[in-house]
Amino acid sequence: MEECIFCKIASGEIKGLRIYENNETLAFMDIAKDVDGHILVIPKKHYKNILDCDSETLSAVMNTIKRVSNHLTENCGYDGINLLNANDESAGQSVNHFHIHIIPRKSNDGIDAWPKFEGAKEELQTVFDKVKM
Ligand code: AMP
Ligand code: ZN
C-alpha cells in the first residue's frame, strides 16, 4: 500500500524505533507518548485489520507479541501487559494497517487501560441468540 504509514515503517522508508522484527512482523514504538513503553506490533505485509488478515500472519503477529511481552516482563521491569486492538473505523481504528498495541504495566502504576462501558442495551439472552455460532 503506497500511502500506508505502517507499510513505510515496515519497509524502512520511514524511520521507526524498531524493537524487534522477523520476516513477517515488526514491533516498534508508538509515537503517542501517552504511556511509557507503548509498543505496536504489525505484520510487514499490509492487511487492514484482523478481519482480512490470514491465520498464518495472525499467528506470526501473536508470536511476536508474546516474544516482546516476555522480554518486557522478564528483562525490563514490567509486571504485566495489556493488549489493545481496534478493527474498523467503527471500533476506533485510526491507522488502516493491522496493529496490536502493547501497554506494559507495573503493579500500582495507576494506568486505566480498560474502556469505561456504559452498560449493555440488550438482554444477555437476546445477544447470545444473535451471536452464537
Ligand atoms: P489505532 O487508533 O488503534 O488505529 O492506533 C494507531 C496508533 O498509531 C496510535 O496510537 C498512534 O499514536 C500510532 N501512530 C501513528 N503514526 C505513527 C508513527 N509514524 N509511528 C508510530 N506510531 C504511530
Ligand atoms: Zn500498510
Q: What is the CATH number of the domain that holds 15?
A: 3.30.428.10
Distance 65 CA to ligand 2 centre (A): 18
Please tell me the residue having the least CA distance from ligand 1 atom 18: 31
**Cβ of 87 less than 6 Å from ligand 1:** no
Q: Is 54 exposed, middle or buried (0-12, 13-18, 19+ CB in 10 A)?
A: exposed
Can you name the residues that pair with 104 across neighbouring β-strands?
81
Ligand 1 atom with the smallest distance to the CA of 94 is 4
**pLDDT tens per residue, range 23-53:** 999 999 999 999 999 999 999 999 999 999 9
What pLDDT is recorded for position 2? 74
> What is the percent of the chain where pLDDT is above 70?
99
> Considering its fold, how many domains does the chain have in total?
1
Ligand 1 atom with the smallest distance to the CA of 16 is 20
**pLDDT tens per residue, range 79-95:** 999 999 999 999 999 99
Q: How many CB atoms lie within 10 A of CB 56?
A: 9
Taking a C-beta distance cutoff of 8 angstroms, is the pair 9, 26 a contact? Answer: yes
Range of the structural domain that residue 18 is part of: 5-131
pLDDT band at 119 (very low <50, low <70, confident <90, very high): very high
What pLDDT is recorded for position 20? 98
- Which residues surround the ion ligand 2 when the cut-off is CB under 5 Å? 1, 4, 6-7, 46, 97
